[in-house]
Structure 1
Amino acid sequence: MIKKRYPLLAAALLLAACTAEQPADSRAVPQTVAPLPPSAVLPFDPNAAPVSQVGFNGNDNVQRFIAREAENGRYSRADLQAFFNNAVYKSNIINIMNRPGTSRPWYEFQKGNAGAAKISDGRNFYMKHRQVIDQVAREYGVPAEIIVAIVGIETNYGRNMGSFRLADSLSTLAFDYPRRADFFQKELHEMLLMSKEENQDPFWFTGSYAGAMGMPQFMPSSYRKWAVDYDRDGRRDIWGSVPDVAASVANYLKAHGWKTGGKMLVPVLLEPTPQLLAVIEEKTELKYTVGQLRKMGVDIQEPLPDHERAVLYRLEVSPGLYQYYIGLNNFYTVWQYNHSRMYVTAVRDIANGIGAGNL
């Protein structure tokens, strides 16, 4: 990590307290500051003068953010004004966020995210770092191949981590993207606290246009809770330290319910009745038991106990042709990392291709 110092900002990162929630790994947070309560997020005023025209410090929403932080005793008004004087508005981020979303079918998504090249690169990445990744896998009970697969699908094994300064991207989204302003204000708050905890300038942190960082693409709030200093060098470096990256991913999955030795998904056969199609369209959660799904007419292709909980879903494997699956506990654990059924299936396919076996 190369450290750049911004003297005007040094005083902005002074005070620390304890969080109520402890991370799964004691190495995850060397020093913590209380997170921002959701109720503390102020309503976004869409009529405020745009930051694109008046700058951050000329925007009323920014000034309310500064006032709230100063009232909480975390930073002084002058410290935060200095921060926003150095933050750069990024109009291209707003353009990206405003583009219409497109939904690709599985047969297209799979080629780009879990194809042969991704699996081959994953094997190479795993072999290069196998000793430490296997050590992390044993310690956390999460398969090494799953750890590698997530790094692969998130950033192509660290090749595409994003080059936006989080100070710029999060400030832009927090104050010029009203639809999710509350979320990005919270993440900006978390990033400032993260800077204090890591003894690092807030302008050092880089990531995607939406504020996700490092090889595993953690948002600042996830970083503060789940990132791990596995190599014990005094910083949680998810940008350049594979030990820290592997342990951080494993720590996240373990904390979100990964069961060692458990399967992720099982193929099923069914007649797509209106009832079952309605179940497939429900939100992703472990709502039904295997036994309940069997009674609905789902033919599960592997032996599973009736009490195990599952989610029924389908993937379009070619135009108009679907395959059906049930996702189990470990499927749902990875889904919490990224809320996409195709993403979770791709992670599983990469992991199996690297050599995990029948997850």
Structure 2
Amino acid sequence: MKLPIPNRIAKCLLTALATTAVAAANVQADSYQAHPQAKQFIDEMVKEQGFDRGQLEAWFSQAERKDSILEAIARPAERVKSWKDYRKIFVTPTRIEQGVVFWKENADILAKASEQFGVPEEIVVAILGVETRYGAHKGSYRVIDALSTLAFDYPPRSKFFRKELKEFLLLAKEQGKSPMDLTGSYAGAMGYGQFMPSSYRAYAYDFNDDGFTDIWASTTDAIGSIANYFVRHGWKADQPVVVPLKAEAKHDTKLIDDNLKPSRSLSEVTSAGYLPLVKMALPDPVRVIELDGANGNEYWLGMHNFYVITRYNHSTMYALSVFQLGQAVAEAYQAEQGLASTGAEG
């Protein structure tokens, strides 16, 4: 015999069912299980790359849209900083001290990488310092969440991030890792050196030869990967990077431009009223750089290796920050090593 359900209880049951339905709908909306673009992407990966459809569907049913990522990437860009302000972010006593500690802890690996690839230790250390404070801030987003959000729900750059999502799934497959386990920045950059998936597949280097290129937890692989990145972009061993210039009163400002790639001869630069403040042979081609420094305009002469640093981040100020941080860390490290040697001898 069925007993009637009191109205109050019936209302409670209906409310509970409605709440469950809404929660289920939200889960569906926040995942990429049924997203039209994700479904199309799955079709492409099955057809073009031979992925298992069921596996892809399982991954994308767990991948989550992150509004915090969309807010971060759509947020109006920070005001354009002058060099004097930009430099203060990266070339600091703390980063220099932390760089010395990192160098001491990884001296053998850094020396091995420098010998094998020809990239100075201080350049590798400085990249790590600028990118993640030597691994302290590598990013905590699941990469599949970050790249899915930007590939499928951020139209301005969906093409780029769709490509990176493809590269990410391929690298996970190649390395035998679950794409659900790998983490990075809100834009999908990964590990100590913040490699995007395409850069990982092209340049990451298994420097400890253990079968997995671990740029997330292995400083050895991170160091080798950064050094390899620079070599593959044309780094020239034992060549200068950038040197300060003195601009004469009647210097030709037409030689200053925003083109990152050097294209002028040293003789052209000196004839135009710019004098290098170093006594060393400087190779062509070169580039004249003008920046707003703490004490007024600064002038620098960038060479090929300076351009190579800008391949990591297409910014003059970024490259000069890397160079100056590296020089400061090297000086502090060498001074400390010299004091240690003196103490040992004493």
SS at match of 1:202: coil
Distance 2:31 2:207 in 1: 40
Q: Does 1:122 align with 2:92?
A: no
Out of 61, 73, 83, the position equivalent to 1:106 is 83
Residue aligning to 1:327: 302
Residue aligning to 2:112: 135
SS at match of 1:216: coil
SS at match of 1:288: coil
290-299 or 121-130, which moves further after superposition?
A: 290-299
Q: CA deviation at 1:146?
A: 1.0
Q: CA deviation at 1:52?
A: 9.4
- Identity over aligned residues, as a percent? 35
Q: Does 1:289 align with 2:289?
A: no
**Structure 1 residues 347 and 310: CA distance shift in structure 2, 3 A:** same
Question: Cα deviation per residue 1:12-44 (whole Å; 9 max; x = unaligned)?
Answer: xxxxxxxxxxxxxxxxxxxxxxxxxxxxxxxxx
> TM-score scaled to structure 1, two decimals?
0.80
**Structure 1 residues 168 and 272: CA distance shift in structure 2, 3 A:** farther
Residue aligning to 2:69: 93
Residue aligning to 1:202: 179
Residue aligning to 1:342: 317
Distance 1:225 1:272 in 2: 47
Residue aligning to 1:211: 188
Residue aligning to 2:3: none
SS at match of 2:311: helix
Alignment of 1:188-199 (within 5 A): 188-199=165-176
The gaps in structure 2 that reach 5 residues or longer are 1-26, 333-346
CA RMSD of aligned residues (A): 2.2
Q: Does 1:81 align with 2:57?
A: yes
**Structure 1 residues 288 and 85: CA distance shift in structure 2, 3 A:** same
Alignment of 1:252-271 (within 5 A): 252-270=229-247
Residue aligning to 1:170: 147
Q: CA deviation at 1:346?
A: 1.1
Q: For CA contacts below 8 A with separation 6 or more, give which structure has more relative contact order.
A: 1
209-218 or 228-237, which moves further after superposition?
A: 228-237
Q: CA deviation at 1:87?
A: 0.2
Q: Does 1:69 align with 2:69?
A: no
The letter for the 2-side match of 1:282 is: D
SS at match of 2:291: strand
The letter for the 1-side match of 2:141 is: F
SS at match of 2:260: coil
The letter for the 2-side match of 1:337 is: Y
Question: Cα deviation per residue 1:309-358 (whole Å; 9 max; x = unaligned)?
Answer: 12221221138x2101111111011110111111111111111112269x
Q: CA deviation at 1:271?
A: 5.3
Distance 1:274 1:74 in 2: 60
Out of 278, 288, 294, the position equivalent to 1:312 is 288
The letter for the 2-side match of 1:336 is: R
Residue aligning to 2:18: none
Counterpart contact for 1:228–1:244, Cα < 8 Å: yes
Distance 1:254 1:229 in 2: 15
SS at match of 1:240: coil
Q: Does 1:160 align with 2:137?
A: yes
Distance 1:132 1:307 in 2: 30
> TM-score scaled to structure 2, two decimals?
0.82
- In terms of fraction of residues, the more helix-rich structure is 2
The gaps in structure 1 that reach 5 residues or longer are 1-50
Q: CA deviation at 1:115?
A: 1.2
The letter for the 1-side match of 2:308 is: T
Counterpart contact for 2:30–2:64, Cα < 8 Å: no
Q: CA deviation at 1:58?
A: 3.1
Q: CA deviation at 1:177?
A: 1.2
The letter for the 1-side match of 2:51 is: Y
SS at match of 1:72: helix
The letter for the 1-side match of 2:275 is: D
SS at match of 1:325: strand
Q: CA deviation at 1:275?
A: 5.7
The count of residues paired between Structure 1 and Structure 2 equals 305
